[in-house]
Structure 1
Amino acid sequence: MPFLINETGKDPVDLYYKDYGKGKPVILIHGWPLSHQAWEGQTQTLLDAGYRVISYDRRGFGLSSQPLEGYDYSSLTSDLREIILQLDLQDVTIVGFSMGGGEVVRYFTDFGGDRVKKAVLIGSIIPLVAQKTDNPDGVPADMLNGILDALKSNRIGFLKDFHKNFYNYENNTDRMSQANLDYDFSIASHASPIATIKCAEAWAGTDFRPELKNVSVPTLIIHGDEDNIVPIKSASDQAAKGITANEYHVISGGPHGLTLTHRDEVDKLLLDFLKK
């Protein structure tokens, strides 16, 4: 199995990755609390279209190392940087889903967008999840604290039902099955409990609004208008205002997990953007 080692932090981190194809490189960054396996559909679509597709497990998830610390966004983004450098990638498109949007934006802050040609944010938490006085459409603090409390007291119980809301399951049974929920539960339940909690703290508490101006490449933004996990008004609506060169698409009826439920629409937008 292929691993890269990130030795830039306090302790070395082994990063599990998959690298398929030989065309222009596209890096897929998964959401919380899943792994690279969440990109199964898009990986096949991109390979069929002739792209080189690299996906990896965020530290603490999938087969990557499960360190005690290092779940702030700059540490997480250093893993993305090592993927790019050690595979010697140029003119990369970096694609972040949900939490993964944070690594996309932070990459421009920490590394100036070096070697990156395009960016994609899908159902992204960017720029701010939490409700604040100047972000009234965000998620209220009591709800975010409730998630963290549930993860600390009964993580498995919380994860068992989490993905029903992730996919708006009752409204999308014609687009997915119970097996999809079981698959996601299996992936999420095997992640590091520490990483699951600390990454939740990172995506819930990081304010990327000052960093939007740093995104200096053409950026595709996709969000579902029925996202019950990441409110579109506090996320992509704001990202589209703060990122200069963006193309913004709202998918009607799309839940948070729209890469599965609305795969055809997402994949078409992605391929059209990559071809431009």
Structure 2
Amino acid sequence: MPFLTTADGTEIYYTEQGSGRPIVLSHGWPLSSDAWQVELKIFADAGYRVIAHDRRGHGRSSKTYQGNDMTTYAKDLAELVEHLDLEDVVVIGHSTGGGEVVRYAAQFGAHRVAKVVTVGAVPPIMVRSADNPDGTPIEVFDDIRAGVLRDRSQFYRELAVSFYGFNRDRAQVSQGAVDDFWRQGMLVNLAAAYDCVKAFSETDQTDDLRALKVPILIAHGDDDQIVPIAAAAEKSINLVSDGVLKVYPGAPHGVFGSYQEQLDADILEFIEAG
């Protein structure tokens, strides 16, 4: 399996399929590059070189105790892109991965990135404060940390239900999707999973969004129970200089089913335009 060893000695696992213009995919918490299996094939079939990595602490990458923060995640991504010598890159990030690719493009990869796509992404900042009264109360994130620390196996099983919107009326529940969410979550070491909650909830990326100089597609489901659209995508679109907001009615946080099919088609259209 291919690995990159970063400057601080962390091993980052990555996989790639296809050839052509590069697309780099960054996954959400607590998942891994396996969350992008459909996109790895579909985008490769469309003529692209598609790369997905496991964030430090996640999947097959090193089980890290340190560096579980948004800036280090973005630096790891920068080292991967430099290692593979990618140019004219499209970076795509879901949830925490959306924060990762935005920070990477804004602070480390401006000379290599051509377009950015975020899906259910955490920027500009999730946690509620005096400056962000529409955010999510800190107690919600404290409960996530407590759940991970107390019984992460059961916590991931329960989280998967709202993650994919399976708790909604008339939802077509996939036990397989729930099981795979659990499988991927259990690969994250506890310290990395715990610390990442602070990274995805408390990192202020307002300046990152303002600094972007390339087109960005901001995709978000309007029934996202994990990263509410009003405090995320609807604010982000007003901070970027060249952005398109695409709202998916009734879509959850997790990328699955008909939402995934439409999203992937829209991403390809965005990449190929202009």
If the TM-score is normalised by the length of the shorter chain, which range does it land in? over 0.9
Give the TM-score normalised by the residue count of structure 2: 0.95
Normalised to the residue count of structure 1, the TM-score between the two structures is 0.95
Aligned residues: 273
Aligned equivalent of 1:262 = 259
Within 2, Cα distance between the matches of 1:274 and 1:56? 20
Q: Report the alpha carbon displacement of residue 46 of structure 1 after superposing the two structures with TM.
A: 0.4
Alignment-derived partner of residue 196 in structure 2: 199
The answer (yes or no) to whether the contact 1:13–1:67 under 8 Å persists in 2 is yes
Question: Could you say what secondary structure the match of 2:167 adopts?
Answer: helix
Pair 121,5 (structure 1): closer, same or farther in 2 beyond 3 Å? same
1:2 corresponds to which letter in structure 2?
A: P
Instruction: Give ranges in structure 1 of 5+ residues lacking alignment.
Output: none
Q: Deviations over 1:191-232 (max 9, x none)?
A: 111110011111111111122111110101100000000010
- Determine the structure 2 residue equivalent to 1:159: 156
1:209 has 2:209 as partner: no
Matches within 5 A, 1:122-201: 122-171=119-168, 175=172, 177-201=174-198
Distance 1:192 1:153 in 2: 14
Which whole-Å CA distance do the structure 2 matches of 1:212 and 1:180 have between them?
32
Matched, 1:18 2:15: yes
Distance in 2 separating the partners of 1:244 and 1:132: 25
Alpha-carbon spacing, 1:149–1:174, altered in 2? closer, same or farther (3 Å) = closer
Match of 2:32 in 1: 35
Report if aligned partners of 2:11, 2:62 keep a CA contact under 8 Å in 1: yes
SS at match of 1:147: helix
- Counterpart CA distance in 1 for 2:203 and 2:50 is 28
Question: What is the correspondence of 1:39-50 to structure 2 with a 5 Å cutoff?
Answer: 39-50=36-47
Instruction: Provide the rounded CA distance (Å) in 2 between the counterparts of 1:88 and 1:114.
Output: 12
2:61 to 56, 64, 70: 64
Matches within 5 A, 1:247-258: 247-258=244-255
Question: Which amino acid in the other structure matches residue 174 of structure 2?
Answer: S
Label 1:68 to 1:267 Cα distance change in 2 as closer, same or farther (>3 A).
same
1:90 matched to 2:82: no
Distance (Å, rounded) in 1 between the aligned partners of 2:199 and 2:165: 24
Counterpart AA for 1:119: V
Equivalent-residue separation in structure 1 for 2:169 and 2:26 (angstroms):
24
**Using the alignment, how far apart are the partners of 2:41 and 2:172 within structure 1?**
18
User: Matched residues in 1 for 2:6 and 2:256: separation?
Assistant: 29
Q: Which residue of 2 aligns with 1:4?
A: 4
RMSD over aligned Cα, in angstroms?
1.5
Distance verdict in 2 for CA 1:34–1:172, change over 3 Å: farther
Tell whether 2:76 aligns with 1:79.
yes
CA distance in structure 2 between the partners assigned to 1:43 and 1:233 by the alignment: 30
1:108 Cα deviation after fit: 3.2
Alignment partner, residue 226 of structure 1: 223
- Secondary structure of the residue aligned to 1:256 is coil
1:130/1:204 contact within 8 Å kept:
yes
AA aligned opposite 1:185: W
- Unaligned 5+ runs, structure 2: none
Q: Which amino acid aligns with 2:199?
A: A
Q: Which residue of 2 aligns with 1:236?
A: 233
Classify the secondary structure of the residue corresponding to 2:181: helix
Q: Percent identity?
A: 37
Structure 2 vs 1, CA of residues 33 and 173 (structure 1 numbering), >3 Å: closer, same or farther?
farther
Residue 133 of structure 1, CA deviation: 2.3
CA contact (8 A) 2:75 2:108 kept: no
